[in-house]
A and B are shown apart, each in its own frame.
Chain A
């Protein structure tokens, strides 16, 4: 991976462990990931693959049981892992990086009006006008942008008085209000039904293009990722397996796991096909490549060593000793 000035977020060899009563869960194993300015990157994986842990590490909001055991996280050229809490709050969280959370139903505070919550984001996250006053006008504009009708009245209402789709629009507006460099969208459409999901995706795609903001889009849904992401990083059991431009990933996946994943997508009239085997327990993950117990092309090497990422074509990296050569 070559460094460049366009690099906004860079995660290198990130290793995270959870210390639980049952032992140490090795949630992330030397994960590499980057997002360039203006880029929309998908982070894909099944539940438990470490997507959310990766993003929580970036924002440094891991639960107390988690330890970042190694690696580097740089945002806008600055090391996030050595930053103080105070500095993180002042410059990174909600400023440089903001979040569209997973569950819009529980992510707004139920006992405060939406207006109170929007106002606090504005107040603390750089929504002040030249006179130092809070720019409520800008908040109203933003609510219109996310297509919330008569926003002034809506601000007086409580979260439970909104539908799921409306709440997620509010979350998007709140994420974009501080004019962040990067938005982390963590499974932000998973809790919504399909038609609403499509509307939210279209809205997000439009706003991102308009505001030239980078997005790290986390999802377990390949179809959703393909609609919005230019590049996709595939994770499996705490390891990053592949990193490729979206079209290329779908046409010619390089990692056996990605290929299996694509083949397991349901097709109209087709059979539903599973990847043989089971997702490993991260309390005792497989040595070497964590996918090897389920991999059709696993060799002796795969059981001992974790493969390095290889660039099989410009912009297409695969962490595998036996990358798939071409689509059969």
Chain B
């Protein structure tokens, strides 16, 4: 049994390789089909024609596309993603610096929406058509409908401007030194280095952005959990377990839940993409120095190499998370590992 699981996990990892290769090709093609001169984009608006031509030679943009693709892959393998116009640094270094901030924000939002969404979804299903169920339906529809930038600004107005209990933006207080970098995620690093001051400041700064980002995914998770539970409740094996008089709590929290959660876990993989996309807006609203804000600035400035770098990194993160979700699913449902 454990062996077939391991084989399945290895297979999944192997299958992820062509997916990522496909992603690389896609990113490359996108960069070449946009109706603009790549050399001019790399050089920036202020460049002279001579500078553009020099860059065209340097990056070999005059070669045929297949050759360029190979060159692109070769450069990537060395970690060379070009230079950012906006920061003046190597894109690769920018990404390494900024990715942990986004990862931290996304992970906290994901955990929040799971911790709140799953229990509420179960409750809504078990107390179907109760006041709570109707209330939750309203809240989740709002979660899916409300634009996150609007919600973010409203939260800032209420909690930061009016009540003054949360910071307006940023990752950590002006007067607080960031914790020693281990993972680049402030909360985690502060915990690891037992830095209480940084932990408190980082946590407080996390509240509004993560809640704003989590709202939509919380809504999706609640709805999928609810429908998952309702679907499993009427399965024969639940009727059988009830008929055999197993304690209701055991039937619900052990036998029912593990089946019901399959739909939710599948959804989490897809939601991760949504959250990553959401960070572009959220990080701009909350001045969060992560990938999303970087991408926003890069787009505004037509910072060509930076945009490609972010796209590629986000794609790889998405593929990785879905790989993990697939493996998690096979742990929950052994039938998955055998198909």
**Bind each other:** yes
Cβ-closest chain A residue relative to B259: A111
Of the listed stretches A71-79, A92-100, A217-225, chain B binds: A92-100
Contact A101 B245 (CB under 8 A): no
Judge if A106 is at the interface, Cβ distance under 8 Å.
yes
Judge if B36 is at the interface, Cβ distance under 8 Å.
no
In the assembly, what is the distance between CA of A18 and CA of B161, in Å?
Answer: 57
In the assembled complex, the CB of A226 is this many whole angstroms from the nearest CB of chain B, namely 27
In the assembly, what is the distance between CA of A94 and CA of B250, in Å?
Answer: 14
Dominant SS at the B interface? helix
Residues of A within 8 A of B259 (CB): 109-111
Partner of B334, one of A101, A111, A121: A111
| Binary interface encoding of chain B residues 157-198 relative to chain A, with 1 for a CB under 8 A from any of its CBs, else 0 | 000000000000000000000000000000000000000000
Partner of B250, one of A88, A98, A103, A120: A120
- Knowing A111-B333, A158-B334, the reply to whether A93 touches B244 (Cβ < 8 A) is yes
In the assembled complex, the CB of A140 is this many whole angstroms from the nearest CB of chain B, namely 19
Judge if A107 is at the interface, Cβ distance under 8 Å.
yes
User: Which residues of chain B (304-339) have a CB below 8 Å from chain A?
Assistant: 332-335, 338
Of the listed stretches B56-64, B110-118, B233-241, B283-291, chain A binds: B233-241
Contact B237 A89 (CB under 8 A): no
Contact B335 A110 (CB under 8 A): yes
In the assembled complex, the CB of A19 is this many whole angstroms from the nearest CB of chain B, namely 15
Judge if B77 is at the interface, Cβ distance under 8 Å.
no
Residues of A within 8 A of B248 (CB): 85, 89
Contact A156 B1 (CB under 8 A): yes
Residues of B within 8 A of A61 (CB): 239, 242-243
Contact B334 A124 (CB under 8 A): no
Contact A120 B246 (CB under 8 A): yes
Judge if B88 is at the interface, Cβ distance under 8 Å.
no
- Knowing A89-B247, A106-B237, A120-B250, the reply to whether A160 touches B242 (Cβ < 8 A) is no
Cβ-closest chain A residue relative to B255: A109
Q: Which of B236, B245, B332 has the most CB of A within 10 A?
A: B245
Contact B245 A93 (CB under 8 A): yes
Partner of B240, one of A101, A110, A124, A157: A101
Contact A107 B240 (CB under 8 A): yes
Residues of B within 8 A of A98 (CB): 244
Partner of B245, one of A89, A102, A156: A89
- Knowing A109-B255, A111-B259, A112-B255, the reply to whether A88 touches B245 (Cβ < 8 A) is yes
User: Which residues of chain B (193-241) have a CB below 8 Å from chain A?
Assistant: 235-237, 239-241
Residues of B within 8 A of A95 (CB): 245
Judge if B127 is at the interface, Cβ distance under 8 Å.
no
Judge if B258 is at the interface, Cβ distance under 8 Å.
yes
User: Which residues of chain A (178-214) have a CB below 8 Å from chain B?
Assistant: none
Count of interface residues, chain A, beta-carbon cutoff 8 Å? 32
In the assembled complex, the CB of A195 is this many whole angstroms from the nearest CB of chain B, namely 24
Contact B244 A111 (CB under 8 A): no
In the assembly, what is the distance between CA of A125 and CA of B250, in Å?
Answer: 13
Judge if A59 is at the interface, Cβ distance under 8 Å.
yes
Judge if A41 is at the interface, Cβ distance under 8 Å.
no
In the assembly, what is the distance between CA of A101 and CA of B145, in Å?
Answer: 45
Contact B247 A111 (CB under 8 A): no
In the assembly, what is the distance between CA of A85 and CA of B247, in Å?
Answer: 10
In the assembly, what is the distance between CA of A88 and CA of B332, in Å?
Answer: 31
Q: Which of B235, B241, B262 has the most CB of A within 10 A?
A: B241
In the assembled complex, the CB of B256 is this many whole angstroms from the nearest CB of chain A, namely 9
Judge if A16 is at the interface, Cβ distance under 8 Å.
no
Residues of A within 8 A of B242 (CB): 61, 93
Residues of B within 8 A of A112 (CB): 254-255, 258
Contact A103 B236 (CB under 8 A): yes
Residues of A within 8 A of B335 (CB): 110-111, 158, 160
Contact A125 B237 (CB under 8 A): no
Partner of B243, one of A101, A106, A160: A101
Residues of A within 8 A of B240 (CB): 99, 101, 107-108
In the assembled complex, the CB of B4 is this many whole angstroms from the nearest CB of chain A, namely 10
Contact A99 B333 (CB under 8 A): no
Contact A124 B235 (CB under 8 A): no
In the assembled complex, the CB of A97 is this many whole angstroms from the nearest CB of chain B, namely 9
In the assembled complex, the CB of B78 is this many whole angstroms from the nearest CB of chain A, namely 45
User: Which residues of chain A (139-177) have a CB below 8 Å from chain B?
Assistant: 156-158, 160, 174
Residues of B within 8 A of A174 (CB): 244
User: Which residues of chain B (246-278) have a CB below 8 Å from chain A?
Assistant: 246-248, 250, 254-255, 258-259, 262
Contact B1 A157 (CB under 8 A): yes
Residues of A within 8 A of B334 (CB): 111, 158, 160
Residues of B within 8 A of A107 (CB): 236-237, 240
Q: Which of B1, B239, B240, B262 has the most CB of A within 10 A?
A: B240
- Knowing A61-B239, A108-B237, A110-B335, the reply to whether A125 touches B244 (Cβ < 8 A) is yes
Residues of B within 8 A of A85 (CB): 248
Q: Name 12 extra pairs, CB < 8 A, besides A61-B239, A101-B236, A124-B246.
A: A88-B245, A94-B245, A101-B243, A102-B236, A103-B236, A110-B259, A111-B258, A112-B254, A121-B246, A124-B247, A125-B245, A157-B1
Contacts A/B (CB < 8 Å), 26 sampled: A59-B243, A89-B245, A93-B242, A93-B243, A94-B244, A94-B246, A95-B245, A101-B236, A106-B236, A107-B236, A107-B237, A109-B237, A109-B255, A110-B259, A110-B333, A111-B259, A111-B332, A111-B333, A120-B246, A120-B250, A124-B246, A124-B247, A156-B1, A158-B1, A158-B335, A160-B334
A-B residue pairs, 9 tightest by C-beta: A93-B245, A94-B244, A94-B245, A106-B236, A89-B245, A107-B240, A99-B243, A109-B237, A101-B240
